[in-house]
Amino acid sequence: MAIFFGTDGVRGIVNNDLTEQVAQMVGNSIARKKLNAKILVGRDTRESGSYLTCAFSTGALKGGAYVDDAGILPTAGISYLTKLKKYDYGVMISASHNPREYNGIKIFDHLGKKLNEKEEAELERYFGCPQIFSSLKVGKYQKLSSYKNLYINYLLSTVSCKLNSMKIVLDCANGASFQVAPTVFNKLGAKIVKSACTNNGKKINVNCGSTHIENLKQKVVSEKADVGFAFDGDADRIIAVDKSGEIFDGDKLLYVLAVYFYEKGRLNGDTVVGTSNTNSGILLSLNRKKINFIRTDVGDKYVIDAMDKMNLSLGGEQSGHIIMRNFLPTGDGVLSALQIASIMMEKGKSLAELFDAKLLVQLNKNIVVEDKLKVLNNETLSKKILQISNEIAPGGRILVRASGTEPKIRIMIEHSDECKAERYLSELESTIMKI
């Protein structure tokens, strides 16, 4: 089990958990894994992005690797270009949906896939060395400006229809998609209303993006738009808003995509992959349409791993990671938005009209704690979880887990009775706050 790597790469507060030395160690470790490694690196708009890119690149160059810097691009763009241009590794400097003081390092292999836990642990074997390994022949660093257009052209190739009659609000979270998303939708003829589409790392994810949907909801309704799409800092997540103001999280969007791909014969194995957090109403509604549903642990890399093992084409998380494996091996919020918009265009329906599943009441709560593992392993909490699990079965579910990217305990309660769900959530929250 990796120590530095969480559920989505190395992540932390810059110059606290994620230091210059850590970034150098990651770069140097990759260089030591493969002789004369070719590495593509990109980043989101955070102010610390250039700093960490330099630190990572320094470590890699000392180890003899060659580093190409693609600048600001969505995570999925780095994944796509890594495979297209035959790099040994792709690296994204981003903390995704986290606040601006955080940053992170995500690593992709030569196929554009995130490293698995075994590969991450192998990299960490080099972290214990107190000194950065220096090759007799140092590597070379260069900046590239043309790669953004290659990624944009690929996104455009994934849809076959124009979006001329659609009015779409785009919330890019002042992050990595601030140029790519508006460009793509403009080229397809849609009328675009921009929100948080700036290169302002100080405001990345601040009251905008997929984790703060209120402004998008208001703008979609006031602008009388057909739909709105919100991405996170590195644009690997998507949340949508229907013209009526209804919010469509990853669960709902996954359902719409699954039904459409199934109808078109493009859903491998007639099966969709979700997580333990996916609303049970999605599972039941898909099953009624003869579409199978498989759960994994929370984390897009677990979803992707299950898809790879079973050769499946669609999976995702409630948080908005949606993986369409026939297009890309990782989640891409802009790609997902394009597919959703094209389905709406083809069907001549709103998002609400495309979604006919009946969801169970599901309540979620994130509680900030000092030591999430200490809380999660507390005996009092374990007893409370067991008690509620026994009471809530068989008509409900409970999930208590530590966040893989933040110092938080995440609680999920699912039940047909909202009052009971609220009571159980309150009891769990109270127990955690006392620990």
Looking at residue 235, which CATH number applies to its domain?
Answer: 3.40.120.10
| pLDDT higher than 50, residue 1 | no
**Per-residue pLDDT tens digits for 359-370:** 999 999 999 998
List the alpha helices (DSSP H) in 297-406.
300-310, 333-347, 351-354, 372-376, 379-392
Confidence (pTM): 0.90
> Based on the domain organization, do 99 and 123 belong to the same domain?
yes
- Say whether both 10 and 132 belong to one domain: yes
Both 141 and 154 in a single domain?
Answer: no
Of the listed ranges 48-57, 113-122, 322-331, the one predicted with least confidence: 113-122
CA dihedral sign, ordered 178, 181, 187, 193: negative
pLDDT for res 284: 94
pLDDT digits (tens, 9 = 90+) for 12-64: 999 998 999 999 999 999 999 999 999 999 999 999 999 999 999 999 999 99
- The more confident residue out of 337 and 407 is 337
To which H or E segment does residue 58 belong?
A: helix 49-62
Residue 197 amino acid letter: C
318 shares its domain with 216:
no
Specify whether 231 is located in the same domain as 264: no
Residue 403 is given by DSSP the state: -
Looking up tokens 């039904």 gives: 259
Q: 3-class DSSP state for residue 307?
A: helix
User: Which tokens sit at 429?
Assistant: 């929250």
Which of residues 327, 354, 381 is at a domain's end? 354
Which of 118, 145, 172 is the C-terminal boundary of a domain? 145
| Contact predicate 291/259, CB 8 Å | yes
- Determine phi and psi for 27, rounding to 5 degrees: -60, -45
To the query of whether residue 426 is one of the catalytic residues in this protein, the response is no
| Residues 38 and 138 reside in one and the same domain | yes
Whether the per-residue pLDDT at 130 is higher than 70: the answer is no
Cα dihedral 154, 158, 160, 163, rounded to 10, equals -80
Q: What is the span of the domain harbouring residue 215?
A: 150-243
Query: Which of 198, 219, 243 is where one domain is finished?
Result: 243
The one catalytic residue among 29, 48, 96, 195:
96
Domain tally, the chain:
4
The DSSP-derived string for 100-144 is TTEEEEEEE-TTSPBP-HHHHHHHHTTTT-SS----SS---EEE-
Sheet containing 322-324: give its strands across: 292-296, 271-275, 314-316, 322-324
Q: What is the spatial distance between Cα 21 and Cα 38, in angstroms, rounded to a whole number?
A: 21
385 shares its domain with 330: no
- Summarised one tens digit per residue, pLDDT across range 183-239 is 999 999 999 999 999 999 999 999 999 999 999 999 999 999 999 999 999 999 999
Residues 328 and 79 sit within 8 Å (Cβ to Cβ): yes
CATH of the domain at 397: 3.30.310.50
- Lowest-pLDDT range, 55-69, 245-259, 405-419? 405-419
